[in-house]
Amino acid sequence: MTAACFARIRSAIFMAVFGCSAFAPAGLSTDYGTPEWQQEISQGYIPFKRLTLEDFKIDDKAHPEVAMYTLGFIHYSYRTQVVQHGRWFTASVTEWQVRSGLDRSQTTRKSWFQDTAKAMSHEQGHLNLNEIYGRLLARRGPKTFPVGQGESPQAALQTLAAKIAKIIDWYWEQNRSMQAQYDEDTDGGLDFLMQEKWDRAISARMKNVGLSEP
């Protein structure tokens, strides 16, 4: 079987800022020289790109059900402020940042698989879909997130983190469902007519979120 599998990794980094803090807009982090991106890159998380054969390390044991496996990631981070109202504390998001792309450390192919050129278009579709959801998540502004409340700053932050996790889970499920439908409709890239149809649909969705072909 020459189908591709896809999964997404998510992580959260949050920092409490007590008192007043400046409002910062949401956005996809594309300054790859920042400490956050440099740390990602050092761990094998690289920015969204056009896939090449060199992105797929040979591993005959990983994901035995498929010949090629593409793993994307969407990582998010945010800053908060916590304000006290009587005996209650309220935590809110003041900055929101998303980093997304390819997890090269987990992207693999089998040594015996030779028809990589035809499979590459299908693999790129998986990565493009992931990037679309990364852009959608990045569009959220700090004020679109709920607040967290508690009887201590820590409790308020924990409540906020739990609410954000539920929102992220929704994006994850939408992404996962779309990836699965893509594989099913295209028979893992083996149905060339359906692959072309999906390529056009993905390209249109990329334009809708301001994303250019890599």
CA separation, residue 96 to residues 46, 155, 192 (Å): 20, 20, 39
Q: Report the predicted TM-score, pTM, of the whole model to 2 decimal places.
A: 0.85
In degrees and rounded to multiples of 5, residue 190 shows phi and psi of -80, -25
Reported confidence tier of residue 9, pLDDT bands at 50, 70, 90: very low
> Domain residue spans in the chain?
4-208
Over residues 187-197, mean pLDDT: 95
Return the structure tokens found at 55: 């992105």
Q: What is the rounded CA–CA span in Å between residue 119 and residue 66?
A: 11
- The model's pLDDT over 77-122, given as tens digits with 9 standing for 90+, comes to 899 999 999 999 999 999 999 999 999 999 999 999 999 988 999 9
Tokens of 77: 């981070």
Distance (Å) of CA 99 to CA 1, 73, 126: 32, 8, 17
- The pLDDT value given to residue 138: 92
The pLDDT of residue 71 is 94
Residue 58 and residue 107: Cα distance in Å, rounded? 9
Q: Is the predicted pLDDT of residue 62 greater than 70, yes or no?
A: yes
Distance CA 116, CA 134 (A): 26
CB atoms within 10 A of CB 53: 10
